[in-house]
């Protein structure tokens, strides 16, 4: 089996330990209207965040503060919706996206909803999604549950984007989320020239486990 080169180095001054890279993480700051959220609205203040479909900012069941992001049922006018925000990425860095989720009891179709991390490169001809990692989940109810997904930025990644979405939603209710975060795991940059799939999965599992345990990163 061909071995890859793995170079590890400590990031001094690049990322504070577990600093949240996202903006307006609890949706307290409105955008151009009360239903929009600053940094989650296209061109407000930049083009690094947006929402679509049945996504709307509401003061229904916030985990902290008064506001949260939601994806409503088809009563809102569509059968899908979502939110995204992106920040500059560093190739080789492991990123973890997490958020807290709550759903009305009549939020019936949870077969295609979740969170994901996407990595992009851009040039004059447009943008290219290099890869993504997602966490599909069901069973969200009327109590807050935390969901998490982790991924390592590939070579040529310039932006890391977090996405919350739901598709083919039922008629009633809404999926709600709050207190989202994107963190770069401190002290690690992994440069991969050739990565077998099994080892790549082991690396991701290791980063996720250490973050879940809250242990210091060596």
User: Measured between alpha carbons, how far is residue 66 from residues 44, 48, 56, 142 in Å?
Assistant: 21, 24, 14, 17
- The total domain count for the chain is 1
97-128 pLDDT, tens digit each:
999 999 999 998 788 999 999 999 997 777 99
Q: With respect to residue 144, please indicate whether it lies within any of the assigned structural domains.
A: yes
CB 148 within 8 A of CB 114: no
Length of the chain: 218
CB 121 within 8 A of CB 196: no
Q: With respect to residue 218, please indicate whether it lies within any of the assigned structural domains.
A: no
pLDDT of residue 4: 37
CA triple 172-174-176, angle to 5 deg: 170
Tokens at residue 36, please? Answer: 């929009």
Q: With respect to residue 5, please indicate whether it lies within any of the assigned structural domains.
A: no
Q: From the first residue on, what is the mean pLDDT of each consecutive set of 10 residues in the chain (218 residues)?
A: 38 59 99 99 97 98 98 97 98 98 93 96 86 96 98 97 97 98 78 48 55 52
Q: With respect to residue 6, please indicate whether it lies within any of the assigned structural domains.
A: no
Supply the range of the domain harboring residue 55.
Answer: 12-213
Q: With respect to residue 154, please indicate whether it lies within any of the assigned structural domains.
A: yes
- Read off the CATH number of the domain in which 64 is found: 2.60.120.260
Q: With respect to residue 162, please indicate whether it lies within any of the assigned structural domains.
A: yes
pLDDT of residue 9: 40
pLDDT of residue 185: 87
Please name which of 152, 150, 116, 157 lies closest in space to residue 136, comparing C-alpha atoms: 116
Alpha-carbon span 20 to 87, nearest angstrom: 11
């Amino acid at each position: 089996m061909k071995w890859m080169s793995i170079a590890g180095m400590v990031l001094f001054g690049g990322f504070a330990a577990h600093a949240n890279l996202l903006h307006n993480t609890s949706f307290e700051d409105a955008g151009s209207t009360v239903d929009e959220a600053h940094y989650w609205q296209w061109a407000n203040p930049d083009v690094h965040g947006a929402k679509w479909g049945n996504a709307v900012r509401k003061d229904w069941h916030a985990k902290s503060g008064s506001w949260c992001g939601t994806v409503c049922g088809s009563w809102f006018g569509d059968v899908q919706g979502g939110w995204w925000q992106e920040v500059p990425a560093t190739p080789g860095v492991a990123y973890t996206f997490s958020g807290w989720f709550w759903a009305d009891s009549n939020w019936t179709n949870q077969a295609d909803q979740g969170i994901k991390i996407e990595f992009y490169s851009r040039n004059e001809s447009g943008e290219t999604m290099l890869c993504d990692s997602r966490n599909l989940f069901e069973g969200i109810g009327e109590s807050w549950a935390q969901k998490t997904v982790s991924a390592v930025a590939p070579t040529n990644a310039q932006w890391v984007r977090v996405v919350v979405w739901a598709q083919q939603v039922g008629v009633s209710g809404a999926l709600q989320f709050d207190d989202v975060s994107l963190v770069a795991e401190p002290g690690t940059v992994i440069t991969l020239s050739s990565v077998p799939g099994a080892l790549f999965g082991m690396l991701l599992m290791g980063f996720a486990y250490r973050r879940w345990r809250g242990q210091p990163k060596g």
